[in-house]
A and B are shown apart, each in its own frame.
Chain A
Amino acid sequence: MADRGSWRRELEAELRAAGRVVAVPPAPDLTGAVRQRLAAPARRRRHLPALGTAGSRRGMAWRAALAGLVTIGVLLIATPQGRAAITGVLRFAGIELRQGQGPTPGHGRGASLPGVRRMTLAQARHRAGFPLLVPAALGRPDEVAVSGGGRVVSLIYTRTPHGQLRLDEFAGHLNMLMFEKFIQFAHVTEVRVNGSKGLWLTGPHDLIYINAAGVPVAASARMTTGNTLIWGTGRVVLRLEGRLGTAAALVVARSAR
């Protein structure tokens, strides 16, 4: 029935959707190990082990050698002495927080996510590769946008008691980065949302979208407004952004279903 190109397009779309949820084990922290090897004399150069066992043992030793690795549910990578500002990285549910300079923003035209398309909530539910959540506390969004071929859904509320609010959602539990944020860690605190860990970020910070190839999309770079709450439900990760306080943000988060 379907013409030649259409089955191919459908299969390609299915593959892309599947790629968003394919299981990838957690990435290791390699800053210490790589640094150590590069600092060592060249005679210590070696080839990859042919098979797993020796390599895994070595891998464990590297990981054990990463002194100062702190886990508080999220991962905080130890930073080489003297330049903490460069390598500070905090990863949480597909969002990487970095201490340092943000990317150069687009040419002042207003940033946007790649392939952004406005649509109805129902269309977005169909298009998203994950079950969309809507906070009852905010009612129906004034605008719904899907970006990155269904990777991110954004709900925009233009008139709330807190001014404009933006809620970005994407599939949870991915070992895949969706956004990078550039912020001083002093502005990040841990909060509880529905029994799970969330992060509360105070003050504007730089934000950039990471595409499926893991490359930051320059045109998406922007400075956020107000404060941001990041939390997850196990299947979906959400980031709420706007000029509202912790208590109000948590009320919104708890009403998402």
Chain B
Amino acid sequence: MYSGRAFGRLRRVINDAEAVARARDGDLDAYAALVARYTVRAHRAAFLLGAGEEADDVVQESFVKAFRHLARFRVGEPFGPWLLRIVANETRNLTRSRRRRAALTLRLATAQPGGAAADGPVAEVLAAERRARLVAAVGGLPARERQVLVCRYFLDLSEAETARVLARPLGSVKSSTSRALNRLRGLFVDEQDRVTNG
């Protein structure tokens, strides 16, 4: 049904692999295509991994570095995850250079203006409150645990991808995940049991 011929009309414009190949040869227009395409994703990752308000700077720096490292990019590799590794590294450099290791403030996007949530069913309001506290608790975790949870559950990366993006051994990713989940469990799961059982 969705056969390749339907795409013929548009075929003259470049895809990621072609853009990378051209950018590697110094074609800045081709690279601009990749920047435009991946800015939102890179920015989300940078913000959630701890760059906070400096995510814009981190992402710009990452794109500049990625361009200069394109020679190391393996043909056929997806560009997105490769870029995320650079973004994670830049974020780490930034947070390391900060004097204080401030916790990341995470909130929910749906702060409901006009009480839209208040009109909803009680269960929905309670779920939203719980979610808001959960997100805040993730932001308050130690950085190494927080980053793993962000990769695994907020960026939906696999354990292997998380290890790659964060440049950490797989075993370390697994143990940090367990430790962080146990910590959150102490805060949330027991509370839920009390509510449902009591």
Chain A interfacial positions (CB closer than 8 Å to B): 1-2, 7-8, 10-12, 14-19, 21-25, 27-31, 33-35, 37-39, 45, 48-52, 55-56, 58-59, 62, 77, 79-80, 82-83, 85-87, 89, 91, 96, 98-106, 108, 110-111, 131, 171, 173-177, 182, 204, 206, 210-216, 221-223, 234-235
**B32 contacts A34, CB within 8 Å?**
yes
- Can you name the residue of chain A whose Cβ is closest to the Cβ of B93? A48
A79, B36: Cα distance in complex, Å: 10
A175, B107: Cα distance in complex, Å: 13
Chain A: minimal CB distance from B28 (Å): 5
- Can you name the residue of chain B whose Cβ is closest to the Cβ of A7? B189
Chain A: minimal CB distance from B90 (Å): 7
In the complex, chain A residues whose CB is within 8 Å of the CB of B116? 234-235
How many residues does chain B have at the interface if contact means C-beta atoms less than 8 Å apart? 84
**A101 contacts B53, CB within 8 Å?**
no
In the complex, which of the residues B41, B107, B153 contacts A214, with contact meaning CB atoms closer than 8 Å? B41
Closest 4 CB pairs of A and B: A214-B41, A212-B156, A19-B154, A100-B13
B181 within 8 A of A: yes
**B59 contacts A17, CB within 8 Å?**
no
**B43 contacts A213, CB within 8 Å?**
no
In the complex, chain B residues whose CB is within 8 Å of the CB of A15? 134, 138, 149, 152-154, 184
B122 within 8 A of A: no
* 11 residue pairs bridging A and B, Cβ less than 8 Å apart: A12-B153, A23-B107, A27-B40, A31-B36, A37-B64, A45-B64, A79-B32, A175-B40, A213-B156, A215-B80, A216-B80
**A10 contacts B37, CB within 8 Å?**
no
- Can you name the residue of chain B whose Cβ is closest to the Cβ of A220? B2
**B15 contacts A104, CB within 8 Å?**
yes
**B7 contacts A101, CB within 8 Å?**
yes
**B11 contacts A101, CB within 8 Å?**
yes
In the complex, chain B residues whose CB is within 8 Å of the CB of A62? 60
In the complex, chain B residues whose CB is within 8 Å of the CB of A2? 193
